[in-house]
């Protein structure tokens, strides 16, 4: 199989997944956009958290991004990202208590909105964060996979001690349909799957929520707080007002 054929097949794999998620999740993504617009109308931040591993990238994807919302408060757990040594982050994301500490540090309060990304949805840093947020009265939008929820063995050591899945704690569940095992594209003659698509699908859903939220804000006659690229000639000046509005409230600005 030549390089062009491999590329076309993998592209079809990606497009098939994105098309399926858009087809199946359009209604819930719209609902997420409404919740985000509600939060903005009530002058609240949108808290975003990735429960470990590469899902942490979705926090970066939604924070301080051209075309993204300025009222995003990123909940960064640096020790559960691949940037802080891979084997170390695996140990930490499987340790209870860390996720709850982050929610306490970022001080979520009743009626805050928290978006949690985790494709698997079972690890302690995800469940502890969701439980702490619920305890504090926050509402949760969860992006995770029903395939993992249904397929992971009940006694698997990566599970939170409670055995709960993220979807069980969320107010709104968006299924990213990430396949069990993450990667599912196979090269002929080699059995181990390659080419995971979960990051692309999660990023798509992150931006789709923002698109729905901005459309809802415009429908309500609100001015969406959307950043322009800081690399445009007018970018810094345009963004300065948005930064001034949220700098004292977003911990990582």
The model's pLDDT over 94-137, given as tens digits with 9 standing for 90+, comes to 999 999 999 999 999 999 999 999 999 999 999 999 999 999 99
- Whether residue 62 lies inside any domain: the answer is yes
Tokens found for residue 68: 């993204």
Structural domain count, the chain: 1
Average of per-residue pLDDT across 133-155: 96
- Whether residue 178 lies inside any domain: the answer is yes
Q: What is the pLDDT of residues 180-211, one digit of tens each?
A: 999 999 998 999 999 999 999 999 999 999 99
Helix axes 86-93, 124-135, angle to 10 degrees: 50
Taking the C-alpha atoms of residue 45 and residue 71, their distance in angstroms, rounded to an integer, is 5
Mean pLDDT of the residues in the chain: 96
- Whether residue 177 lies inside any domain: the answer is yes
- Whether residue 132 lies inside any domain: the answer is yes
The three-class DSSP label of residue 16 is helix
- Whether residue 138 lies inside any domain: the answer is yes
| 209: number of Cβ within 10 Å | 26
Higher pLDDT, 2 or 197: 197
Helices (H), the chain: 3-41, 56-62, 86-93, 98-105, 124-135, 146-151, 198-219, 235-246
- Whether residue 124 lies inside any domain: the answer is yes
pLDDT of 84: 86
Q: Which domain holds residue 202?
A: 23-246
Q: Domain of 235: which CATH number?
A: 3.40.50.10490
- Whether residue 53 lies inside any domain: the answer is yes
pLDDT of 66: 97
């Amino acid at each position: 199989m030549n390089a062009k054929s491999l590329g076309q097949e993998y592209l079809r794999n990606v497009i098939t997944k994105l098309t399926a998620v858009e087809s199946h999740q359009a209604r819930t993504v719209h609902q997420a956009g409404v919740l985000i617009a509600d939060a903005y109308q009530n002058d609240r931040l949108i808290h975003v958290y990735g429960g470990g591993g590469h899902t942490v990238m979705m926090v970066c994807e939604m924070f301080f991004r051209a075309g993204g919302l300025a009222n995003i408060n990123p909940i960064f757990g640096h020790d559960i990202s691949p940037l802080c040594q891979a084997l170390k982050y695996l140990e930490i994301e499987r340790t209870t208590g860390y996720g709850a500490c982050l929610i306490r540090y970022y001080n979520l309060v009743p009626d805050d909105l928290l978006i949690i990304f985790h494709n698997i949805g079972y690890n302690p840093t995800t469940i502890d964060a969701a439980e702490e947020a619920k305890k504090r009265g926050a509402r949760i939008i969860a992006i995770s996979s029903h395939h993992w929820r249904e397929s992971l063995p009940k006694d698997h050591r990566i599970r939170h001690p409670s055995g709960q899945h993220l979807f069980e704690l969320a107010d709104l569940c968006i299924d990213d349909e990430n396949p069990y095992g993450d990667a599912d594209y196979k090269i002929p003659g080699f059995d181990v799957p390659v080419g995971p698509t979960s990051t692309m699908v999660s990023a798509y859903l992150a931006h789709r929520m923002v698109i729905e939220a901005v459309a809802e804000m415009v429908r309500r006659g609100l001015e969406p707080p959307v950043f322009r690229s800081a690399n445009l000639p007018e970018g810094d000046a345009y963004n300065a007002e948005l930064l001034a509005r949220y700098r004292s409230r977003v911990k990582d600005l």
